[in-house]
């Protein structure tokens, strides 16, 4: 299994090195035209980090993103332990439940990404999916010990759908809130937050399960998902990239109109 994983990773590495461009030759959006107008020698990574740390809406997103993804990491890590405690001898099905979470998450990421691209409702979509992640975690916590394995499959799938579907929403919302800062910087801070909370929640939930059982451990995560939902509701929807696109489009239209007027004036003269 490890050889297969290493082989796939090596192939992907080779493809990235030889086939992937650093960036498109032609900027895909007017906002990217504006972002590329900043000379590389004027860019400072440290200054960019400091600007992001002073960006209150983005920092709220960093914390709420870390809470959501950290909870997902904890559930994924301790899933086998929780399933076996309530369904002894079901190690194989515990693995299948994990697979269900992954597949449902893939579908959720795809659907959420398409929806966001079509509607541009960044905060509304992010908040809705976050709230549904919280609801899914509550349902999972209260149904895990019912004794029906098919219920666990359904609730785990729903949990994976919304929690993994939240990932692209968080990244895209972060880009909007931090434009024209480098996307890699904002994404790196989100991932850093997720890893920190993931470690804390995995250790914390593990200790709670050990002393008080799986229900208490899952309620522990529900509390933090509720906090994250409330924090997301307080994020100011300052869509800087969208504003830059609209401003550039307006300026381009005005410039084109002036050129047409000049041509008409010269023709009449």
* CB burial of residue 47 (10 Å; 0-12, 13-18, 19+): exposed
Q: Write out the two tokens for 114.
A: 């398409």
Q: Which CATH architecture has domain 44-245?
A: Up-down Bundle (1.20)
Mean pLDDT of the 40-57 span = 79
pLDDT band at residue 181, thresholds of 50, 70 and 90? confident
Mean pLDDT of the 246-255 span = 65
Cis ω before 180 (30° cut-off from 0): yes
As a whole number of angstroms, the distance between CA 79 and CA 62 comes to 25
The pLDDT, as a whole number, for residue 40 is 59
pLDDT value at 31 more than 60: no
What's the pLDDT tens digit per position in 206-236?
A: 999 999 999 999 999 999 999 999 999 999 9
What is the SS3 assignment for 144?
coil
pLDDT > 90: percent of the chain: 53
The pLDDT, as a whole number, for residue 101 is 93
pLDDT value at 197 more than 60: yes
Q: What pTM was estimated for this model as a whole?
A: 0.83
- Token pair 């989100």 is found at 190
CB distance 182 to 48 below 8 Å: yes
Characterise 26 by phi-psi region: left (phi > 0), alpha (psi -120 to 50), beta (else). beta
What's the pLDDT tens digit per position in 69-127?
A: 999 999 999 999 999 988 998 889 999 999 999 999 999 999 998 998 888 899 999 99
Closest CA to 240 of 185, 168, 180, 188: 180
Give Cβ neighbours of residue 51 (< 8 Å, ≥ 6 apart). Answer: 181
């Amino acid at each position: 299994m490890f050889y297969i994983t290493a082989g796939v990773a090596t192939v992907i590495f080779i493809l990235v090195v030889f086939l992937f461009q650093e960036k498109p030759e032609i900027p895909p959006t007017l906002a990217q035209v504006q972002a590329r107008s900043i000379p590389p020698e004027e860019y400072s990574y440290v200054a960019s980090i400091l600007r992001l740390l002073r960006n209150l809406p983005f920092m709220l997103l960093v914390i709420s993103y870390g809470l959501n993804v950290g909870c997902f990491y904890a559930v994924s890590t301790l899933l086998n332990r929780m399933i076996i405690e309530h369904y002894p001898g079901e190690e194989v099905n515990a693995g299948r439940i994990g697979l269900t979470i992954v597949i449902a998450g893939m579908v959720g990421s795809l659907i959420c990404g398409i929806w966001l691209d079509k509607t541009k409702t960044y905060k509304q979509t992010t908040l809705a999916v976050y709230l549904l992640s919280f609801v899914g975690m509550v349902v999972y916590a209260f149904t895990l010990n019912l004794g029906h394995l098919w219920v666990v499959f359904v609730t785990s799938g729903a949990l994976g759908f919304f929690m993994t579907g939240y990932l692209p929403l968080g990244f895209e919302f972060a880009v909007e809130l931090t434009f024209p800062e480098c996307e890699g910087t904002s994404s790196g801070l989100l991932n850093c937050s997720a890893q920190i909370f993931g470690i804390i929640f995995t250790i914390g939930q593990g200790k709670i399960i050990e002393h008080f059982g799986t229900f208490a451990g899952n309620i522990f995560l529900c509390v933090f998902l509720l906090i994250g939902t409330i924090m997301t509701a307080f994020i100011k929807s300052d869509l800087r990239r969208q504003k830059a696109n609209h401003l550039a489009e307006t300026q381009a239209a005005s410039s084109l109109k002036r050129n047409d007027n000049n041509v008409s004036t010269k023709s009449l003269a």
